[in-house]
Structure 1
Amino acid sequence: MKQISIDPRRSAKQGIDLNHETVKRHTEIYNKLIEDIPRSSQGTVWLNPYGTAPLSGYLGIWSESEEKIQIYITDNIGKSIPACYIWNTVKGANLIPILGMVPGSVNRIEVSVSGNNKNKYKEVFSIETAPLPPTDREIAVYPKDARFVGFPIYEVTVSADDIPETLSELYFTAFAARYNTGADDRGMVRWYTTDDIPAWNFERLSNGHFLSAAPEFDEGKLLYEFDMVGRVYKVFVLDNQCHHSVLQLPDGNILLPSEYTGESREDGLSIIDYKTGIELAYYDIREILDTKRPPIPKTVPVKDWIHINQSYWDTVNNLLISSGRHQGIFGIDKDTAELAFILASHEDWSGEFEEFLLTPVDESKNPLYDLSDPNDIENANKEFWPWGQHAVVEIPNATKGIAEFLVLDNGNYRSRIREHALTAEENYSRVVRYRVNLDEMTVTKVYEYGKEEVGNRGYSSYVSNAELLENGNYLVNFGGGTFDENGRRRTTIDGFADISDPLSGEMVQGMVLIQEVNPITGKPRLEFTCTSGRFKGKDEGKKFTVDLYSFRTHKLTLIP
């Protein structure tokens, strides 16, 4: 077995930018607000103090002891879900986040001591918020050279019948290069960030903050750590772009895809020290997988042979398990970088990789296909293997030798033979839950959702994610949907992301379909359909059929 180095690469400028202008300015704003808190029982409020989160603010109070403060927020119309949460104060000055306000409304902020001492402290404040920014539909003259401008349009297309009495969770979505948003069960946006903060691949950290990069921020080489009020705490400087997912590992450090600039794209894994921003380990997948295997979907540029988009650390088996969009899903040993398995169609791999290819079996361990039979190969391609997949997410499992994960199978081509491939209009995306038996080198499809239940409407030729919620439901973000003026599904780049469709129209609009799905009934508890609201054509500078789209949706608590 070839020895593979996982030593960190030599750093060019990597680390935490301690002198970043935004971090310094936000720290100064925070310190000034702390100083301005009245040393009395009277509190004060500030809306959007950093200019980055228009529906967020602070309550500044001086507390003589540690107390539990209840915040209760309603709007002047009375049609929103009231936000209600508890905040633990410290003795002295406190800046308590005001979160979950309603846009374009006078918000009533009722503040009281939680528990038996309700008469000890109670104040009511009013904060008037501006309406949401204009959508593409509302922009009279769309900037010709702009790819993304307007605010997404939310429509609840399946209503929940169990809407909570008070707001405790939001559906957080990063609309790429537009806005990070948080919507409630009625589809009302209750939080968003401006374009001063990256909206792309955001994840929540263990401290409750978010971490995100975006191409508009030094080509994805800056990772911003920010909170719900819009304060930026840190800016990590990377030597290579972080185009896709970031993930905080159990040890606190950050796992992200990377590459060697100028040589290839997104074909390595980097572990970054959270405290210093310095790379601790680098896994060069060019040294591990088959770089000669033709990529599906096809790539622009050709150096993008694998396109790693999400990874996690399976601590039970000590594997880094990754999704490579153009090659499948694979696992490597975290300590040695040795290849453990490949979950992908068995076609076109060099002989040395055959021992790592997983065999599809049913729950009784019976093989599902004869992979020497061309017909069975195509059946497996259409029914079993993922294509162009994103969002490999761990399903917790304590059994050594078993790895289980959830995948958003985008579905590009669904074949390595062009004559058998599907157009976007014929295709679908789905969520698949796989279980890998590492001892027997088999894989079982435990659950899938999307092909029959959503069909073509959910087809996303790129991005997207899915996750398992604490209530047992699946949250599914069909984040890369695109359709033309005739309602026909489109792909991002004809002939590359999918085979060309001669019936495609001339205009394009993006759609993000978000569902919380009950796996037992196979039906959505809730569904949002988000669109840009405007068809665009070549006359508005569109080189590719890319419009409104989303890498990530998470259902998270309003208060971390």
Structure 2
Amino acid sequence: MSKPALLLSALALSLSLCSAQTFASIDGMKPKPVAGAPLGYIIHNPYENAPLTALVTLAGHTISGVEVTVHANDADGVSLTYQVDDMRVMDEGGVPIFGLYPAFMNKFTVKWIENGERKSHDYQMLTPDIDMGFSESQWAKAPIVEVEHVDADFKDRLYFVNWTNADGKAAPLMHNNSDAPGAFSWDGKPGFFIIDTAGDIRWYMNPYTTHDAKTYDNAGYAMGMNVTKDGNMVWVQGQGWKKMSIMGRMISEHNLPGNFIDASHEGIEGANGNVFIRAAAKDYRTADGRLVNTVRDQIIEVDNTGKLVDYWDLNTILDPMRDAALLSLDAGAVCLNINLDDAGHQTTEEDLAKAPYGDIHGVATGRNWAHVNSIEYDPTDDSIILSSRHQSAVFKIGRDKQVKWILSASKGWSDKFQDKLLKPITADGEPIWCNEKGACQDKGFDFSWTSHTAYLVPEKGTLTVFDNGDGRDLGQPMFANEKYSRSVEYKIDEQNMTVQQVWEYGKDELGYEGYSPVTSIVKYQADKDSMMSYFASAGLFGLGGGYGNLKMDDTTGKVQSILVEHRYGETKPAVRINIDSHDMFATGYRAQVIRVNEMLK
């Protein structure tokens, strides 16, 4: 062979070898599983919104019958075991891993069926520490969880907890109505997390990806999280509402319908599949010609595309001039507008008359006269049930926008509503006499005061209400430590317009220790036939009952939320967990029971 031919042959061989080497290394920086792993590699926090989640990818494997166990961090910890639906594995593109510990080399086991064979593999993964955002007066990175008691049959519980506090980045935005700006200034870092019964945080939402104080659409408090029928999380946040999977996949984000603003407190899916949201109205013309933004007095119903289906304007349905409950409030705690300088001061008619328009308690449209904080949908008659803190009342209102009943003391209600007031009765059906301020002769019944949450218990034919207890009997007690909050269950007979109290917890058992002037929840849990209650702002004014001069090291302003769960009808808790504030005057908002198997279908 000639020399040129030899050179060409050598060049061809060299190119062939180079090409083979190039193809052999074409993966470049593509992630690969660790040696011996039978499936694919692991992705930490696959959607960026839930830092204590991961995904084991499939690498072409077809698997079914998946079960995951996230092992306890120590001898006192709680292992989590859950099944993953086959379609969910395909939807995620792998095995979803939920419930990892923060700042820990987690160990978890995945079991599955492949080609008819049962397989299993033990994995490990290091996770980052908790970062829910930070603020000036914070002394811990997250609320501090202390487990006081858990019965054996409740050890598998997981509780979602919603904490609220500002982070110094309050939205530099406001609605273009200087006379009545509404409630847009409510803004702060999202505080969503899930705890187990050992007190460990096993999930939290990334506040940096789900909230932005500088943008109109993503500012606002994240509040009112509820689990939907398809096992996802829905909540309201400022000028919109969001729906996300427990793995952190943002399923949808919607702005409020154009005529509405300032969503907070409640976003809940009804039995009809629509979402009910507590909002306010933009550029509302009052009867006397004022142009205002309203405050916490509109209920809107939207479908899953965000389209408005219906709305309830409480200014035309109820009486925004009723001041009986407003005059009984402690001016230091008007929901999350906490002003300790006014603590112990009972609101006066002069206060209401001088109140500016905007997010301040007062009578008339454009002020916070209603402060609705929960919505329940009753599919039996296509109605909604509302808890109104500033009317100290629970209402049922039909699709026709007519009031069906009112659970409230009678003082201040006009003739239009007198026949809608429920009449208290004993367990034997005997009438209970109560004066117009709601003080009742029979000690087995009390109205709810400045309530938070009013939810149906279809299994029992009852209604639960969290009775915060401020303004009880339309007044303030001589001593602050006489106050108490309670979870209460009522049985309402709509035909006879009567109400019976069937259960309560907190008055005698907790007393002032559990007094929660704002926020909180009680909700029936069908899976264990139990009641879960969250006394979310206990200790806000200090356990001594005095208000005094506040200092950073005072217990005053340091909240200890109390989460309890009872077997139905009992008053001895099966679970008690205390959650200490990590930031001065920050409060818990709500809690929910989380069922992972239902959320990973």
- Shared fold per TM-score greater than 0.5: yes
1:541 aligns with none
By how many angstroms is 1:134 displaced? 8.4
Contact 2:110 2:121 in 1 (8 A): yes
The match for 2:500 among 444, 450, 453 is 444
Task: Classify 1:248/1:423 alpha carbon distance in 2 versus 1 (closer, same or farther; 3 Å).
Answer: farther
Which of 41, 61, 66 in structure 2 is aligned with 1:69? 66
**Range with bigger deviation, 320-329 or 94-103:** 94-103
Matches within 5 A, 1:469-488: 469-470=525-526, 471-483=528-540, 487-488=543-544
Distance 1:520 1:396, change over 3 A: closer
Output the CA distance in 2 between the equivalents of 1:422 and 1:191: 43
Specify the alignment match of 1:224 in structure 2. 242
Structure 2 counterpart SS, 1:522: coil
Aligned to 2:108: 109
2:261 aligned with 1:258: no
Tell me, yes or no, if the aligned pair for 1:223 and 1:237 is still in contact at 8 Å. yes
Counterpart residue identity of residue 230, structure 2: N
Give the superposition deviation at 1:423. 5.3
Are 1:269 and 2:299 an aligned pair? yes
Match of 2:575 among 515, 526, 532: 526
- Write the letter of the residue equivalent to 1:156: V
Query: Which of 361, 376, 396 does residue 458 from structure 2 map onto?
Result: 396
CA distance in structure 1 between the partners assigned to 2:498 and 2:567 by the alignment: 27
**Distance in 1, Cα, partners of 2:487 & 2:160:** 19
CA distance 1:319–1:242, shift in 2 (3 Å): same
Contact kept in structure 1, 2:68 and 2:108, CA below 8 Å = yes
In the other structure, the counterpart of 1:329 is: 394
Matched residue of 1:352: which SS?
Answer: helix
Where relative contact order (Cα < 8 A, 6+ residues apart) is larger, the structure is 1
Q: What SS does the corresponding residue of 1:354 show, helix, strand or coil?
A: helix
User: Which of 419, 422, 428 is matched with 2:484 structurally?
Assistant: 428
Amino acid at match of 2:58: I
Cα offset, 1:397, TM superposition: 5.6
Distance 1:70 1:243, change over 3 A: same
Corresponding residue of 2:312:
283
Letter paired with 1:225: K
Partners of 1:284 and 1:37 in 2: CA distance: 57
Which residue identity is paired with 1:318?
D
Aligned-partner Cα distance in 2 for 1:135–1:333: 42
* 1-structure distance, mates of 2:470, 2:443: 11
1:131 aligns with 2:129: yes
Question: Where do residues 81-160 of structure 1 align in structure 2 (5 Å cutoff)?
Answer: 81-90=78-87, 94-113=93-112, 120-133=118-131, 143=136, 150-160=141-151
Q: Matches of 2:105 and 2:192 in 1, distance apart?
A: 23
Which AA in structure 2 matches 1:526? Answer: V
Please tell me whether residue 551 in structure 1 is matched to residue 589 in structure 2: yes
Q: CA deviation at 1:41?
A: 5.3
**Deviation of residue 211 (structure 1)?**
1.3
Identity %, equivalent residues: 22
Counterparts in 2 of 1:115 and 1:64: CA distance versus 1, 3 Å: closer
Alignment partner of 2:466 out of 369, 386, 408: 408
> Which runs of 5 or more residues in structure 2 are unaligned?
1-29, 165-188, 212-221, 283-291, 335-359
Change in Cα spacing, 1:251 to 1:385, as seen in structure 2 (3 Å) is same
Q: Indicate yes or no: 2:268 matched with 1:247.
A: yes
Structure 1 Cα separation of the partners of residues 115 and 535 of structure 2: 46
Instruction: Note closer, same or farther for the CA distance 1:383–1:240 as it changes in structure 2 (3 Å cut).
Output: same
- The CA distance in 1 between the partners of 2:44 and 2:434, in whole Å, is 63
Q: What is the CA distance between 1:404 and its match in structure 2?
A: 2.6
| Paired residues of 1:381 and 1:415 also in contact (CA < 8 A) | no
Task: Give RMSD over aligned pairs.
Answer: 3.0
Report what 1:184 is aligned to. 196
**Equivalent-residue separation in structure 1 for 2:267 and 2:443 (angstroms):** 29
Alpha-carbon separation, structure 2, partners of 1:36 and 1:253: 41
The Cα of 1:329 is off from its aligned counterpart by: 0.7
Tell me, yes or no, if the aligned pair for 2:385 and 2:397 is still in contact at 8 Å.
yes
Could you tell me which runs of 5 or more consecutive residues in structure 1 were left unpaired when the two chains were aligned.
1-34, 137-141, 215-219, 490-500, 537-546
Map Cα deviations across residues 56-100 of structure 1 (whole Å, 9 max, x no partner). Answer: 111111565561112122256454222212223359783221011
Structure-2 change in CA distance of 1:385 and 1:54 (3 Å)? same
TM-score w.r.t. length of structure 1? 0.78
Distance 1:151 1:473, change over 3 A: same
In structure 1, what residue type is equivalent to 2:538?
A: G
The whole-number CA distance in structure 1 between the counterparts of 2:72 and 2:149 is 24
Rounded Cα–Cα distance in structure 1 between residues aligned with 2:47 and 2:489: 41
Q: Compared with structure 1, are the counterparts of its residues 112 and 273 closer, same or farther at alpha carbon in structure 2 (3 Å cutoff)?
A: same
Aligned to 1:4: none
Match of 2:210 among 169, 172, 197: 197
Query: 1:480 Cα shift?
Result: 1.8
Counterpart contact for 2:132–2:205, Cα < 8 Å: no
Alpha-carbon contact 1:213-1:243 (below 8 Å) kept: yes
1:307–1:483 Cα change, 3 Å:
closer
Tell me how far 1:355 sits from its aligned partner. Answer: 1.0
Displacement of 1:188 in angstroms is 1.2
Shift of 1:271: 0.3
- Residue 272 of structure 2 contacts residue 379 of structure 2 at CA under 8 Å; is this kept in 1? no
Gap change, CA 1:520 and 1:282, over 3 Å in 2 = closer
Partners in 2 of 1:463 and 1:422 — Cα distance?
A: 23
TM-score when normalising by structure 2: 0.73
- CA pair 271-412 structure 1, distance change in 2 beyond 3 A: same
2:567 is aligned with what amino acid? Answer: N
Instruction: Give the Å deviation of 1:120.
Output: 4.4
Distance 1:445 1:77 in 2: 44
- d(CA) in 2 for partners of 1:149 and 1:230? 24
Shift of 1:411: 0.4
**Inter-CA distance 95–282: structure 2 relative to 1 (3 Å threshold):** same
> In the TM superposition, what is the alpha-carbon distance from 1:284 to its structure 2 partner?
0.9
- Distance 1:80-1:502 versus aligned 2 partners, 3 A rule: closer
Moved more, 296-305 or 443-452: 296-305
Within 2, Cα distance between the matches of 1:473 and 1:115?
Answer: 39
**Shift of residue 231, structure 1, vs aligned partner:** 2.0
Alignment-mate amino acid for residue 130 of structure 1: P
Q: In the alignment, what sits opposite 2:179?
A: none
What do residues 380-415 of structure 1 show as CA deviations (whole Å, max 9, x unaligned)? 7995111100111111069xxxx6310000001202
Greater shift in the superposed pair: 355-364 or 292-301: 292-301
SS of residue in 2 equivalent to 1:310: strand
In structure 1, C-alpha distance between the alignment counterparts of 2:444 and 2:320, rounded to whole Å: 24
Task: Write out aligned runs for 1:364-403 (5 A).
Answer: 364-371=428-435, 377=439, 384-396=446-458
Summarize the Cα distance change of 1:384–1:527 in structure 2 as closer, same or farther, 3 Å threshold.
same
Shift of 1:186: 1.1
Which of 211, 215, 240 is the matching residue for 2:234? 211
* Among candidates 368, 383, 387, match of residue 304 of structure 1: 368
- Per the alignment, residue 158 of structure 2 pairs with 170
Q: 1:368 to 1:114 in 2, by over 3 A?
A: farther
